[in-house]
C-alpha cells in the first residue's frame, strides 16, 4: 500500500457497533473487566487507550516499525528513549540538535550519570572518534539537523552503529515518514515531535516513538507505562486527524519552501541559505538518496543581528513564534528561542549565531510569503 | 473564605477576555511573539499553556501551596518529581507504596544510581534507622494503598527535616479536601489526579504541588524538560471535576463508612481496613492530621474462594483498576494495582489473595452493600 493511502486511512475506525469512520475519543481512565482474570485487552488508559492505540498503530505502519508509542510531547518521547540507558552509559549526539534535547542531556541525565559527546554526525569519522569502547551505547541523530540542516548519511551511520553495537536513534521530526523512513536504512528507533508536521496545525503537543524490533518495543512499552508520559485521548485523535492530510501539506509546504529558498539565495541581504533542496547544499545528494523530498524547513543568514530583528519585527504574515511544521508559516530566532539553552561558546562554534533565522514554511500562497519577506527586508 | 468556597472561587478559571465562567481550552501549541527581546507570557505550550495554568493555580490553592504542576499521569508526576534527584542519592519510601511507584523506584531510578529503602512508616523509628549519609528524600503515602496504613505526617516530616531530607507525599487517597500535607510541613505533594481530583474516571492526569520556590523551579525544569505535561482538554476536565470535589468527597466518605461498618459485622469478613473505624490502628493519628477518612477501604474475606465469588457476582461494582470516581470500583490488588510487587514481598506486606479494595462512589450505599453481600 502506498503511503498516501496509509495516511488517509490512519485511525480509520473498524468499530463494528457503529461503523463510525473516525476513531472515537475514549475519554476514560479505566475499563470494566468482564470477570476476574478476564480482560477486554484494555485495563487502564495509561497502559493502553483505544484512541491512543489507533495513533500508535498508524505510526508503526508509517515508519515501517514494530510498534508505535505516543507521548505527551516530543520531549516526553525522547525522555522515554533515554530511559533505556543506565548510569555510566555514553551517547553520541548531533551537535546542532534541538535545544530542548540538549537541555535534558546537560541538566538532568548528566546528574543521573549519563554522558554525552556532541559531534557533527554528518561526518562518520568524527562519530567514530567519539566512541568510548564499552561505554558508548547509542547514536542520536537529527537529519536534517535543526537549525543548520546538516545531512547525515543514514545508511553509513547505521552501518557504523551496527558494527560498533550501538543503537541508532533518529529524530525524524523535520522529514516525517512521508519523506524519510530511517528504520528502512537500519535505524533502531525513530522519534518525533508530533506537535510539528504529524499534527500539522499548531494545535496539539505530542511525541511518538517507533521501534525497529520486538525487543525494543517491550522495553519502550514498559517505560511508557511505568513513567506515564502518555498522550491524552483528545490529543491522540487530533494527531490522527492531522496525519490524514500529511501528504498534501508536505507537498505544498516543500514546494513553497523550495521557491522561498531559491528567492533567498538570490537576495543580496542574505549571506547564506541552508536548505537541502538547493543543489549547492553540501548534503543535497545524500539527502536525495535517502528521502523523497527536502521538507519545508530552512534557515538563512542575514548581515547581522539588527537585520535579523528587523525582519522578525516587520514581518506581517509570517508569524514570529517558536515551533514548526504547521500550516501557518513561522519565523524563529534560534539563538533566543529553540537553541537559547545551548551555551553561547558552543552555539558560536557550530554556527548558531545571532544573524541566523529559521523558517517553517506553511501552506499560504508562496507569492504572499515572498512579498512579506521582501517588505520586511526592504531598506 | 471557607475551604468549600475556595474550591470554586480561586484566582484561576475565569476567562479575562470574555468573562466566561469556564476557562477556554487553549489547544495552541505555540504563541505569536510581539518582541524579539521580550518574550510574552506564553511561548510554547510545553512551557506554559493558559488552560493548564488555570488548573495548576487551582491545585496550588487547594493544597495551600504556592506552585503546582500538571502532568500526563500520576506516574509522570511521580517520576518527574523523583528526577530532581541525582546519581548516588538514597530514597526512603513507605513499604506498601503504590505498585507503580515501587516499580519506577526499583526498576528505573535504580538504573540511574538512586537507591531506595522501603520501610513500614507506621513505626517512625524505622525511618530514622533507614537514614544514610546520602539519603535525600522521604516518600510517604498516607493512608497507604491498599492497606490504609496511617503515617504520622507531622512527625515523619520532623524527622526528615532534622536530617535535611525532602519530604514528598502521595495525597491521592485523601485529596486536598480532607488532608493538606504542606500545612504539616511536607515539601512536595503528588496526586494521581485521575482519582478523586478528576473524580469521573474519564481522565488520566497527575499533579505536583509545593510551597518551596527552590523545589518548584527544579520541578518546573523537569516538567518543561521531560515534557510529560497534561493536554489542555484533560486540564479542563480536571478543573471541571474539581468543582464538585467537596460534594463528592463528603458523600463518598459517608457511604464508605457505612460499608466499612457493615463489613465489620459480617462473619465471612476477617479484616476491614478503614481509618474511619475507631479500632483502626491509625484512627487517632488520621483524626489529628486530616478532616476525614476518605472513600477507599480494603477487606479480607475468610477464603480466597469467597473473594473470587464476590468478584464474579457483583453487578453494580465495576471490577476495574483505578479508584476515586463517582462509580464504585472493586479491585483486586494482587492482580492489579500491586501486581508489580514481587509475590513474596506482597505476602510479607499483607497484600494477600483474599484482599479486596473498594473505592466507594456516589451510588446509594444500601445498593452497594446488597451487591457485595454473598447471601444475595
Query: What does the alpha-carbon distance between residue B266 and residue B252 come to, in Å, rounded to a whole number?
Result: 21
CB < 8 Å from B in window 207-246 of A: 207, 223, 226-232, 234-235, 238
Query: What does the alpha-carbon distance between residue A191 and residue A33 come to, in Å, rounded to a whole number?
Result: 33
Q: What are the percentages of helix, strand and coil residues in chain B, rounded to 5? A: 40, 15, 45
Q: What is the mean pLDDT of residues A332-360?
A: 91
In terms of phi and psi (left: phi > 0; alpha: psi -120 to 50; beta: otherwise), the region of A288 is: alpha
In contact, B207 and B77? CB cutoff 8 Å = yes
The three-class DSSP label of residue A168 is strand
pLDDT of residue B195: 97
CA-based Rg of chain B, rounded to a whole angstrom?
Answer: 21
Q: Please indicate whether residue A301 is annotated as part of the active site.
A: no
Nearest residue in B to A312, CA atom? B36
Own/partner long-range contacts of B366-375 (Cβ < 8 Å, ≥24 apart)? B367/B316, B368/B255, B368/B259, B368/B316, B368/B317, B368/B328, B369/B258, B369/B259, B369/B262, B371/B314, B371/B315, B371/B316, B371/B317, B372/B259, B372/B263, B372/B310, B372/B314, B372/B317, B373/B266, B374/B268, B374/B306, B374/B309, B374/B310, B374/B313
pLDDT of residue A14: 67
Query: What does the alpha-carbon distance between residue B100 and residue B117 come to, in Å, rounded to a whole number?
Result: 16
User: What are the two backbone dihedrals, phi and then psi, of residue A89, each rounded to the nearest 5 degrees?
Assistant: -75, 155
Per-residue pLDDT of chain B (376 residues; tens, 9 = 90+): 899 998 888 867 677 778 788 889 999 999 998 888 888 889 899 999 999 999 999 999 999 999 999 999 999 999 999 999 999 999 999 998 898 999 999 999 999 999 999 999 999 999 999 999 999 999 999 999 899 999 999 999 999 999 999 999 999 999 999 999 999 999 999 999 999 999 999 999 999 999 999 999 999 999 999 999 999 999 999 999 999 999 999 999 999 999 999 999 999 999 999 999 999 999 999 999 999 999 999 999 999 999 999 999 999 999 988 899 999 999 999 988 888 888 998 888 899 999 999 999 999 999 999 999 988 7
The three-class DSSP label of residue A44 is strand
Query: What does the alpha-carbon distance between residue B256 and residue A333 come to, in Å, rounded to a whole number?
Result: 57
In sequence order, the β-bridge partners of residue A119 are A94
Contact B86 A205 (CB under 8 A): no
CATH class of B245-372: alpha beta
Q: Which of A58, A42, A20 is CA-nearest to residue A236?
A: A58
How many residues make up chain B in this entry?
376
Residue ranges and CATH numbers for the domains of chain A are 3-243 (3.40.640.10), 246-377 (3.90.1150.10)
Q: Which of A42, A48, A73 to mutate to test the interface with B (most CBs of B within 10 A)?
A: A73
Q: What is the mean pLDDT of residues A186-209?
A: 97
Question: Taking 70 as the threshold, does the pLDDT of residue A250 lie above it?
Answer: yes
In sequence order, the β-bridge partners of residue A226 are none
- Encode pLDDT of A30-88 as tens digits: 998 887 778 889 989 999 999 999 999 999 999 999 999 999 999 999 999 999 999 99
Chain A residues touching residue B336 (CB < 8 angstroms): 43
Q: Which of B46, B195, B354 to mutate to test the interface with A (most CBs of A within 10 A)?
A: B46
pLDDT of residue A205: 97
Confidence of residue A175 (pLDDT cuts 50, 70, 90): very high
* Average model confidence (pLDDT) across chain A: 95
**Domain B3-242 fold:** 3.40.640
Catalytic residue numbers of B, as ranges: 46, 98, 170, 195
Is some CB atom of chain A closer than 8 A to the CB atom of B311? yes
3-state helix/strand/coil string of A76-126: HHHHHHHCCCCCCCEEEEECCCCHHHHHHHHHHHCCCCCEEEEECCCCHHH
In sequence order, the β-bridge partners of residue A207 are A71, A193
Nearest residue in A to B111, CA atom? A86
Which value does ipTM take for this structure?
0.89
The sign of the CA dihedral B184, B73, B361, B300 is negative
Task: Provide the H-helix boundaries in chain B.
Answer: 3-8, 50-62, 74-82, 99-104, 124-130, 153-162, 175-178, 213-226, 232-242, 245-264, 283-289, 304-313, 343-349, 365-372
Contact A108 B83 (CB under 8 A): yes
Query: Which residue ranges make up each domain of chain B?
Result: 3-242, 245-372
Give the Cβ contact number of residue A289 at 10 Å: 12
CA-based Rg of chain A, rounded to a whole angstrom?
Answer: 21
Confidence of residue A328 (pLDDT cuts 50, 70, 90): very high
pLDDT of residue B160: 97
pLDDT of residue A174: 97
DSSP 8-state symbol, B106: I
Q: Please indicate whether residue A171 is annotated as part of the active site.
A: yes
How close is the nearest chain A Cα to the Cα of B8, in Å?
A: 24
Buried-state track A302-338, b at ≥16 Cβ within 10 A, e below 16: beebebbbbbbeebebbbbbbbbbbbbbbbbbbbbbb
In contact, B49 and B26? CB cutoff 8 Å = yes
The sign of the CA dihedral A218, A219, A222, A224 is negative
How close is the nearest chain A Cα to the Cα of B355, in Å?
A: 13
Amino acid at each position: 500500500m502506498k503511503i498516501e493511502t496509509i495516511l488517509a486511512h490512519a485511525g480509520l475506525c473498524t468499530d463494528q457497533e457503529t461503523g463510525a469512520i473516525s476513531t472515537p475519543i475514549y475519554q476514560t481512565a479505566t475499563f470494566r473487566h468482564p470477570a476476574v482474570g478476564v480482560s477486554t485487552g484494555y485495563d487502564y488508559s495509561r497502559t493502553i487507550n483505544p484512541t491512543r492505540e489507533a495513533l500508535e498503530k498508524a505510526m508503526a505502519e508509517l515508519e515501517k516499525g514494530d510498534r508505535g508509542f505516543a507521548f505527551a510531547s516530543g520531549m516526553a518521547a525522547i525522555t522515554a528513549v533515554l530511559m533505556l540507558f543506565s548510569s555510566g552509559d555514553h551517547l553520541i549526539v548531533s551537535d546542532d540538535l534541538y535545544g530542548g534535547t540538549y537541555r535534558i542531556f546537560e541538566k538532568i541525565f548528566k546528574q543521573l550519570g549519563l554522558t554525552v559527546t556532541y559531534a557533527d554526525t554528518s561526518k562518520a569519522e568524527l562519530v567514530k572518534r567519539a566512541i568510548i569502547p564499552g561505554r558508548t551505547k547509542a547514536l542520536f541523530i537529527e537529519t536534517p539537523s535543526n537549525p543548520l540542516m546538516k545531512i547525515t548519511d543514514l545508511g553509513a551511520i547505521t552501518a557504523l552503529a551496527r558494527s560498533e553495537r550501538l543503537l541508532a536513534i533518529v529524530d525524524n521530526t523535520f522529514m516525517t515518514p512521508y519523506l524519510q523512513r530511517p528504520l528502512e536504512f537500519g535505524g533502531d528507533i525513530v522519534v518525533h515531535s508530533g506537535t510539528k508536521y504529524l499534527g500539522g496545525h499548531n494545535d496539539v503537543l505530542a511525541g511518538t516513538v517507533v521501534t525497529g524490533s520486538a525487543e525494543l518495543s517491550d522495553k519502550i512499552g514498559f517505560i511508557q507505562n511505568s513513567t506515564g508520559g502518555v498522550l491524552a485521548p483528545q490529543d491522540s485523535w487530533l494527531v490522527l486527524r492531522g496525519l490524514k492530510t500529511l501528504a498534501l501539506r508536505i507537498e505544498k509546504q516543500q514546494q513553497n519552501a523550495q521557491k522561498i529558498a531559491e528567492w533567498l539565495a538570490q537576495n543580496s541581504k542574505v549571506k547564506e541559505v541552508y536548505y537541502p533542496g538547493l543543489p549547492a547544499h553540501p548534503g543535497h545528494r545524500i539527502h536525495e538518496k535517502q528521502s523523497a523530498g527536502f521538507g519545508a524547513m530552512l534557515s538563512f543568514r542575514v548581515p547581522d543581528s539588527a537585520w535579523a530583528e528587523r525582519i522578525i519585527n516587520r514581518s506581517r504574515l509570517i508569524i514570529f513564534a517558536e515551533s514548526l511544521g504547521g500550516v501557518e508559516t513561522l519565523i524563529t530566532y534560534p539563538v533566543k528561542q529553540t537553541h537559547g539553552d545551548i551555551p553561547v561558546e558552543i552555539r558560536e562554534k557550530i554556527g548558531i549565531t545571532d544573524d541566523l533565522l529559521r523558517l517553517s514554511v506553511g501552506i499560504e500562497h508562496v507569492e504572499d510569503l515572498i512579498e512579506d519577506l521582501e517588505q520586511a527586508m526592504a531598506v | 473564605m471557607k475551604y468549600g468556597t475556595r474550591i470554586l472561587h480561586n484566582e484561576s478559571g475565569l476567562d479575562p477576555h470574555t468573562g466566561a465562567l469556564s476557562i477556554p481550552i487553549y489547544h495552541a501549541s505555540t504563541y505569536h511573539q510581539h518582541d524579539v527581546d521580550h518574550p510574552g507570557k506564553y511561548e510554547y505550550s510545553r512551557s506554559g499553556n493558559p488552560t493548564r495554568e488555570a488548573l495548576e493555580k487551582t491545585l496550588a490553592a487547594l493544597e495551600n501551596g504556592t506552585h503546582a504542576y500538571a502532568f500526563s499521569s500520576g506516574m509522570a508526576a511521580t517520576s518527574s518529581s523523583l528526577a530532581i534527584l541525582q546519581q548516588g542519592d538514597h530514597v526512603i519510601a513507605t513499604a506498601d507504596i503504590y505498585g507503580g511507584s515501587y516499580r519506577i523506584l526499583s526498576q528505573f531510578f535504580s538504573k540511574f544510581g538512586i537507591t531506595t529503602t522501603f520501610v513500614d512508616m507506621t513505626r517512625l523509628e524505622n525511618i530514622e534507622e533507614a537514614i544514610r549519609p546520602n539519603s535525600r528524600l522521604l516518600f510517604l503515602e498516607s493512608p497507604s494503598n491498599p492497606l490504609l496504613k496511617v503515617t504520622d505526617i507531622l512527625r515523619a516530616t520532623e524527622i526528615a527535616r532534622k536530617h535535611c531530607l525532602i519530604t514528598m507525599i502521595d495525597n491521592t487517597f485523601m485529596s486536598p479536601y480532607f488532608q493538606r500535607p504542606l500545612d504539616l510541613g511536607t515539601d512536595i505533594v503528588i496526586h494521581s489526579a485521575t482519582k478523586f481530583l478528576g473524580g469521573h474516571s474519564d481522565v488520566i492526569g497527575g499533579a505536583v504541588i509545593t510551597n518551596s520556590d527552590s523545589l518548584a523551579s527544579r520541578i518546573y525544569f523537569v516538567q518543561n524538560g521531560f515534557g510529560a505535561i497534561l493536554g489542555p482538554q484533560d486540564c479542563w476536565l480536571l478543573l471541571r471535576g474539581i468543582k464538585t470535589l467537596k460534594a463528592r468527597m463528603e458523600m463518598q466518605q459517608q457511604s464508605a463508612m457505612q460499608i466499612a461498618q457493615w463489613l465489620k459485622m459480617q462473619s465471612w469478613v476477617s479484616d476491614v481496613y478503614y481509618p474511619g473505624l475507631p479500632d483502626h490502628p491509625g484512627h487517632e493519628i488520621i483524626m489529628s492530621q486530616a478532616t476525614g477518612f476518605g472513600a477507599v477501604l480494603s477487606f479480607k474475606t475468610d477464603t480466597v474462594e469467597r473473594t473470587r465469588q464476590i468478584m464474579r457476582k457483583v453487578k453494580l461494582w465495576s471490577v476495574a483498576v483505578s479508584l476515586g470516581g463517582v462509580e464504585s470500583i472493586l479491585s483486586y490488588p494482587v492482580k492489579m494495582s500491586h501486581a508489580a510487587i514481587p509475590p513474596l514481598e506482597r505476602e510479607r506486606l499483607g497484600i494477600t489473595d483474599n484482599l479486596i479494595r473498594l473505592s466507594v462512589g456516589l451510588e446509594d450505599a444500601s445498593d452497594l452493600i446488597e451487591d457485595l453481600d454473598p447471601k444475595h
